Amino acid sequence: MTAAPVASREAVLETRGLTKAFGGLVAVNAVSLRFLERQPHAIIGPNGAGKSTLVNLLTAHMRPSEGQILCRGVDITRLPAHKMPGLGIGRSYQKTNVFPSFSCFENVRLAAQSRLSTSMRFFRPASSLRDTNAHADEALELCGLSARRHRVAGTMSYGEQRQLEIGMVLATAPQILVLDEPLAGMGVEESELMVALLKDLARRYTLILIEHDMDAVFSIAEVLTVMVNGTMLESGPVEQVRASQAVQDAYLGDGGEVF
Partner 1 sequence: MIRLPRSIALPLLALVVLLALFPAYGPLLFPAKHAFLMQKLAGIMILAMLAMSLDLLVGVTGLVSLAHAAFFGLGGYGLALLSPEYEAANLWLVLPATLAGVAAASAVVGWLSIRTSGIYFIMVTLAFGQMGFYLFNDSKGAGGSDGMYIMVTPSLEIAGTALLRLSDKMTFYYVVLALFVGVYFGLRMLLASPFGRVVAAIGVNENRVRGLGFDPDRYKLVAFVIGCTVAGLAGFLAAMQYGFVNPSMLSWHHSGEALVMVILGGMGTLFGPALGAFVFELARYGLESMTEHWLAAMGVFVIVVVLALPKGIAGLLLRLARPRDEGDGS
Residues found near ligand ATP in the complex (CB under 6 A): 22, 25, 27, 45, 47-53, 94
Which of 11, 12, 49, 110 is the binder for partner 1 (CB under 8 A)?
110
Which of 94, 96, 231, 248 is the binder for Mg ion (CB under 5 A)?
94
Does residue number 97 form part of the binding site for Mg ion (CB under 5 A)? no
Does residue number 76 form part of the binding site for partner 1 (CB under 8 A)? no
Report the partner that residue 49 touches, choosing among partner 1, ligand ATP, Mg ion, none (CB closer than 5 to 8 A by kind).
Answer: ligand ATP
Cα–Cα distance measured from residue 136 to residue 152, given in angstroms and rounded to the nearest whole number: 16
Which of 8, 23, 117, 123 is the binder for partner 1 (CB under 8 A)?
123
Q: Which is nearer to partner 1, 154 or 253 (CB)?
A: 154
Which of 57, 168, 208, 220 is the binder for partner 1 (CB under 8 A)?
168
Q: Which amino acid is at 75?
A: D
What are the residues whose beta carbons fall under 8 Å from the beta carbon of 2, sequence distance 6 or more?
Answer: 222
Per-residue exposure over 178-197, b if at least 16 CB sit within 10 Å of its own CB, e if not: bbbbbbbebeeebbeebbeb
Please report how close the Cβ of residue 58 comes to partner 1 at its closest, in angstroms.
Answer: 12
Q: CB–CB of 210/43 below 8 Å? A: yes
Q: Which is nearer to ligand ATP, 148 or 162 (CB)?
A: 162
Please report how close the Cβ of residue 102 comes to Mg ion at its closest, in angstroms.
Answer: 25
What is the C-alpha end-to-end distance of the chain, expressed in Å?
Answer: 22
Does residue number 52 form part of the binding site for Mg ion (CB under 5 A)? yes
Per-residue exposure over 240-259, b if at least 16 CB sit within 10 Å of its own CB, e if not: ebbebeebbebbeeeeeeeb
Number of residues that bind Mg ion (CB under 5 A): 3
- Nearest by Cα to 208 from 52, 86, 67, 63: 52
Phi and psi angles of residue 129, each rounded to the nearest 5 degrees, phi first: -80, 100
Residues at the site binding partner 1, with contacts judged by CB under 8 A: 59, 61, 80-86, 91, 93, 97-103, 106, 109-111, 113-114, 116, 119-127, 129, 132, 150-152, 154-156, 168, 172
